Amino acid sequence: MKQGQPGIIDGATILLTGGTGSFGQEFVQRLLKAHNPHVVRIYSRDELKQHEMQSRFQDKRLRFLIGDVRDKERLARAMRGVDIVLHAAALKQVPACEYNPFEAVKTNILGAANIIDAAIDCGVKQVLAISTDKAVNPINLYGATKLCAEKLFVQGNAYAGSSGTRFSCARYGNVVASRGSVIPILLKQRSEGTVTITDRRMTRFWITLEQGVDFVLRCLELMHGGEIFVPKIPSMSIMDLVEAIAPECRVAFTGIRPGEKLHELLVAADEARHTLEFEDMFVIEPTHPWWTTQGWQEAKRVSDGFVYSSQNNPQQLNTEMLRGMLSRFETLPIAQEVTG
């Protein structure tokens, strides 16, 4: 695979939207330990989380900026002098987005447009947006807003033109044990003796925070502009997940919820015509690259009609593998429950 500019993080000024979330905390920890950024600006709405994060890291390279991605003027001020923007801010809870659809659109779609405009106006070199498998053939509003955001970031390159600002997306599945995910819910229910599952046939893609950070850093190194990067990650059935976390509990089946799929996709059949396969990832090329972009070497095109589905994924997690993934967390209340 053709490599991008080496050492792109070192010496860079980086803006991280939604930086106090699960991903942001892990990403910042990695940057400060393994790289040498000039400054990392944390941009988010929650002053308490920013205070807690500042107390945790106590690093002079961090800057904490209160702001909302809905506020274009504030974003423009925050992006002055920035080399790289990593956009992780979003409304992510499916039920909350369904109940508050205007708010989801304002944050996830209009906020994405604000990121693009501000980045171009401020001369940012690279913008990488974090997406989700829910954006592929979406059936709920959250997925639909993330699909729109992907489209905006890909075609944001056309708006940037020859200015040099480039936009790409990193799309991956559920993050193991992240806040609000199914694993902490099952752990809480386990103490009660009964866990609730919507449908026994369900499967999902899984990735750890550490793997997500590795993937994002690699995407920043490789991106030319307009790509959607998809990692090859394992899947697991929901019943195997229950067996790993709460094997002795009774399982109550509640029925599949509105906006919920039995299986998730990371690459849809309609995207196969533009998808390249590498050993550890897929790269979905832009369909209308009106800007100047570079090709990819040493890649093979996937077959027509190819889909990357959690149901038919050849890479499957078993219960022991999941327990091993959980045991590596540094914040161990979850890992300790599972392993000991």
Within a domain: 7: no
pLDDT of 180 reads: 64
CA 338 to CA 329: how far, in whole Å? 11
Within a domain: 131: yes
pLDDT of 255 reads: 92
SS3 content of the chain, % helix, strand, coil (to 5): 40, 20, 40
pLDDT of 1 reads: 39
How many structural domains are present in the chain? 1
Task: Band the pLDDT of 3: cuts 50, 70, 90.
Answer: very low
Q: What are the pLDDT digits (tens) for 291-339?
A: 766 777 778 999 999 999 999 999 998 888 887 777 654 343 333 333 2
Q: Is 134 a catalytic residue?
A: yes
pTM: 0.91
pLDDT of 2 reads: 40
Residue 4 has pLDDT above 70, yes or no: no
The predicted model gives 216-222 an average pLDDT of 95
The answer to whether 158 and 290 have CB atoms below 8 angstroms apart is yes
Task: Band the pLDDT of 191: cuts 50, 70, 90.
Answer: confident
pLDDT of 144 reads: 98
Within a domain: 3: no
The predicted model gives 56-78 an average pLDDT of 97
Within a domain: 5: no
What does residue 257 show for φ and ψ, rounded to 5 degrees? -90, 155
Catalytic residue among 92, 134, 146, 261: 134
Q: Residue 282: which CATH number?
A: 3.40.50.720
Tell which residue, 172, 210, 207, 220, has the closest CA to residue 4.
220
Within a domain: 6: no
Residue 205 has pLDDT above 80, yes or no: yes
- Tell me which residue range forms the domain holding 335: 13-339
Within a domain: 221: yes
Task: Band the pLDDT of 39: cuts 50, 70, 90.
Answer: very high
Tell which residue, 117, 116, 125, has the closest CA to residue 163.
125
Tell which residue, 18, 23, 69, 22, has the closest CA to residue 41.
18
Within a domain: 140: yes
